[in-house]
Every structure is written in C-alpha cells, then in structure tokens.
Amino acid sequence: MKRLTNCRVRRVPKFPGPAAWNAILPWQAPPRQLEENITADFAVIGAGFAGLSAARRLSQLNPGARTAVLEAARIAEGPAGRNSGFMIDLPHDLSSDNYSGNGKDDRRQIRLNRTGIDFARGAAEEYRMDRETFDPCGKINAAASEAGHRQNVAFGQHLTKLGEPSELLDADAMKALTGTGFYHSGLHTPHAVIIQPAAYIRALADGLSPVIQLYENSPVTSLQRTANTWMLKTPHGSIETPKVILAVNGHAESFGFFKRRLMHVFTYASMTDVLTQRQITALGGEPRWAVTPADPMGVTVRRINGTGGDRIIVRSRFSYNPSMQASDAYLKNIAGVHRKKFLDRFPMLSDVGMEFCWGGHLCLSWNNVPAFGEIDEGIYAACCQNGLGTAKGTLSGLAAAELCSGVSSETVTALQNEAQPSRLPPEPFAWLGANASLRWKEWRAGRE
Ligand SMILES: Cc1cc2nc3c(=O)[nH]c(=O)nc-3n(C[C@H](O)[C@H](O)[C@H](O)COP(=O)(O)OP(=O)(O)OC[C@H]3O[C@@H](n4cnc5c(N)ncnc54)[C@H](O)[C@@H]3O)c2cc1C
C-alpha cells in the first residue's frame, strides 16, 4: 500500500463544451460550497456515479454517520452528466471487435455489472425516477454495414453460448424504430437500462440530500495526513475525516495515485436543436430510442423526447489526452464530424442544427481492470471505470463503501481480486500507440 503523507492535487477537472443533458433540464438549485472547517465520519471526493453510489451505500450501512461529498464542479456537469446513458450489463470491452473481450471472463463481468445496475435500480425506485430518467428497456447494437451485421450475429451467438437472451432485428424493424433506412440490423439485449444521465445524477444527489452533506464547486486541492485522520482542503474550507473514498475516476492520478497506469481518453457528443413537428413527421419512427454501434469504435445515437423537447444525440470519436484536457479547436473539428455522421443517418433532417457539442473524460486501464481498493491507510479508490462508468462506477462506489465500512461481500472480494492497472509504456510511445490504434479502429469501423 502506498504511503502518501501529503499531496497537493495537481489538476482539477476542466470540461470541454457545455453539459447538454444538464442544460436541457429545468432549473437547478444554487450550489452549496464548502466554506467552513468541519469534521466528518466519511468524506467522498467526486459526485459522479461512483461517488454518489458510495455515499448511498455508506448511508445504508452507517445510519447516522456524517458523510460529506465534495464535488469540484456542479452536480451533473462532469462526465457523469455528459455520457450517452447506456447502463450496460453485458461485457463492454471498447478495445474488442464486438464488446465481448476475450470471452473468458464474461459471466463474471455480467454478474458484476448487474450488481451495479440493480443498485442503481434501487435508487431509481426509492427516489421515484420516471422513465425519461431511468428506463429498463434494454439496448440495441445497430449495424450500418454488412461487417457490422456480421459483428451483431457473432455477438448474438456468443451471448447464446453464455445463456444470455438477444433478438436480431432486421432492417425494416430498425427503420420502424429509428425512422432511417441507415441500419442493416440491430441486436436487442433486454437487461440494459437507458438513463438521462444528468437527470439520474441530479435525482440521486437530491434523494441523498437528507442524509449527506453535498458540497459543489468545492474541488479538493490537497490531502494531508494528521495523526489518525486526513485533512482535505478546498479553496474555502476543509474536512477532517478518518476515511476518504476517492471517486474521481482518472483524476486519481492528479492526487498522485496510479501514476502512469491510467489512460485518459476523451469521447465527444452533439445534440440537435429541438425538432419541430414538421421535422418529427419527416423523420418518423419511435419518439425515444437508443442504439450503440455494432463496432465499439462506431457512432452511438439516441432520440429523446419529453423534458427538453424532441432531439437527437450522436456520440463518436475518441482521443487520447494524457493532459486530461481536450482543446476547443479539437472540439470544433469534432462538431463537423458529428454533423456529417448525423446527415449520413438522417438526410431528411438536413435543416436541423446542432445546439450543443461537448466532450468528456473516460479513464481506461491497459489491462481493462478498475483502480479499486484501500490505496493508503483510510483512503479507498473507486476509480477507472473503463468506459462503462454508469454500471461499473456504481459498482465500484458501492463496493468502496462496503470495504471502508468493514463489510465483506462478494462484490468487494471480486474487485479486490482484480489485477492492478498495469504500467503504460513511456511517452511519447503511449501517446503515439494509443492515437494510432484509435484512428485505425475508427477507420476500420467505417460506416458504423
Ligand atoms: C460523451 C460520453 C459518452 C459516454 N457514454 C457512456 C455510456 O453510454 N455508458 C457508460 O457507462 N459510460 C459512458 N461514458 C463514460 C462515463 O461517463 C464515465 O465512465 C463515468 O462518468 C465515470 O463515472 P465516475 O463516477 O467514476 O467518474 P466521473 O463521472 O468522472 O465523476 C468524477 C467526479 O469527480 C470530480 N472531481 C475530480 N477531481 C476532483 C477534485 N479534486 N475535487 C472534487 N471533485 C473532483 C469530477 O468533477 C467528477 O464530477 C461516456 C462518457 C462520455 C464523455
């Protein structure tokens, strides 16, 4: 275990572009910042899936304990409110050809992802989230080419071998759903959940508000060990606590942990203006659907309606950014790529503009494992979600809460038995290798 007596946090998050999912929601109550020096039984750093799930599990296991959550930004402005909202139960290895990874470990991955999703479902029920926020409708892998269709068929066969249900939809069924003739087929798997990410994160934070202290716009800038406690400093206050859950995903490295073991990747999305009735009619299809690409490097598309209006969201492109920042110039370039991907799929909507374009930080490890466990005395990591933070972040947050409450569980054991994230090659080799590999895989994904 690493011994870290003092650390000055090297970087706080900077998010490229607006948090569109949050911007289309109704008014958000003003933030409460940490502006005093307090003590707590537990402090959680980061209010994404991992941090808020950790706080919820702590409140279940330690009723009456004082739990403080510190978030650098506003709730739902960070990656947890910027993603595409696919809470996926099945294996989801972004570096694979069809998500299924090496196949050896798939049943265990499914069990763990479902534990995370069930925990989220418990929160959705308790806090009365509606279908727009948390929809257990399953998900569809959409194929836009013969190659994609073959990937869908292969993935479906792989799932059958695992005893997992799936249904292959033909081109007509995909057109009836999406309104576009772009897709050759779709593979529906029933156990995924589709969330409005910002609405889910806000509802989770609101639901927890009676039992935790949540401080927004309160980045932790240093961690110092005192006799038996940790002192967390923010620009205007501090918290002294014996137990800290670090739920900052890739920013664990900014705190000095997992150095050169975390890969900082950004992915990007755009959201249209609100569709008019004429545009909705021209499009056809169902008012709400969500498809991931048959090739993991392809384009994710969602159509939403209800709060925030009828809109379409496309997500595509990845970049490797060891600096943990993506430039505005790159985002501008991405906006053009998204526009083209949108028009390829929806030529009947050529007069629809894009209101938002944004990016967000993913954290991957070379060996596709989480950064989990007690990493210093009293500091517990729930980080590195390998691109599936909705399910895996929830899982690692609840497991970190169990571990630091002294509760043994199958989930804690499973995460503790994972290997540590392996060391990355030195720069510039990691940068060159990662970018070359991303560009090659995106090129190979072609029409997908
Ligand atoms: C466009 C896009 C699409 C995606 N689509 C999907 C998807 O469909 N499904 C899926 O599962 N995943 C998806 N992801 C990935 C997903 O968003 C992340 O894996 C997930 O948010 C990670 O959850 P987390 O709680 O571990 O970390 P985060 O959500 O990153 O939360 C960590 C929080 O820590 C805070 N923080 C960092 N440093 C400090 C500090 N010093 N002090 C205080 N707070 C700090 C940050 O502000 C942040 O809010 C997508 C990501 C993007 C960008």
CATH number at residue 287: 3.50.50.60
Structurally, the chain folds into a number of domains equal to: 1
Burial class of residue 374 (count of CB atoms within 10 Å of its CB; 0-12, 13-18, 19+):
middle
- Asked whether residue 374 is assigned to any structural domain, the reply reads yes
Average pLDDT over the chain, rounded to an integer:
93
Residues with CB under 6 A from ligand 1: 9, 12-13, 45-51, 70-73, 78-80, 82-86, 219-220, 247-249, 251, 267, 269, 315, 360, 362, 385, 387-391, 393
Identify the residue whose C-alpha is closest to ligand 1 atom 49.
Answer: 78
- Asked whether residue 320 is assigned to any structural domain, the reply reads yes
- Asked whether residue 373 is assigned to any structural domain, the reply reads yes
For ligand 1, pick from 249, 254, 320, 392 the residue to mutate: most ligand atoms within 8 Å of CB: 249
* 72 touches 219 (CB < 8 A): yes
Expressed in angstroms and rounded, the spacing between residue 155 Cα and the centre of ligand 1 is 27
Distances (CA, A) of 217 to 31, 56, 103, 204, 236: 7, 20, 42, 18, 10
Query: Residue 298's closest CA among 149, 132, 413?
Result: 149
Question: How does strand 371-376 pair with strand 185-189?
Answer: unpaired
- Asked whether residue 298 is assigned to any structural domain, the reply reads yes
- Asked whether residue 212 is assigned to any structural domain, the reply reads yes
- Asked whether residue 1 is assigned to any structural domain, the reply reads no
Expressed in angstroms and rounded, the spacing between residue 335 Cα and the centre of ligand 1 is 21
The rounded distance, in Å, linking the Cα atoms of 77 and 381 is: 22
pLDDT in tens, 17-73: 999 999 999 999 999 999 999 999 999 999 999 999 999 999 999 999 999 999 999
Q: What are the residues whose beta carbons fall under 8 Å from the beta carbon of 16, sequence distance 6 or more?
A: 266, 268, 325, 326, 327, 328, 330, 331, 358, 359, 360
pLDDT in tens, 331-378: 999 999 999 999 999 999 999 999 999 999 999 998 889 999 999 999
- Asked whether residue 441 is assigned to any structural domain, the reply reads yes
- Asked whether residue 375 is assigned to any structural domain, the reply reads yes
Using pLDDT thresholds of 50, 70 and 90, give the confidence band for residue 6.
confident
* 140 touches 187 (CB < 8 A): yes
Expressed in angstroms and rounded, the spacing between residue 11 Cα and the centre of ligand 1 is 15
The rounded distance, in Å, linking the Cα atoms of 400 and 324 is: 24
Q: Which domain holds residue 346?
A: 6-445
pTM above 0.85, yes or no: yes
Q: Which atom of ligand 1 is nearest to the CA of 385?
A: 19
pLDDT in tens, 227-286: 889 999 999 999 999 999 999 999 999 999 999 999 999 999 999 999 999 999 999 999
The rounded distance, in Å, linking the Cα atoms of 398 and 224 is: 25
Task: With a cut of 80, say whether residue 96 has pLDDT above it.
Answer: no
For ligand 1, pick from 83, 193, 195, 330 the residue to mutate: most ligand atoms within 8 Å of CB: 83
Tokens of 165: 């249900």
* 73 touches 273 (CB < 8 A): no
Question: How does strand 237-241 pair with strand 37-39?
Answer: parallel
Q: What phi-psi label fits residue 386: left (phi over 0), alpha (psi between -120 and 50 degrees) or beta?
A: left
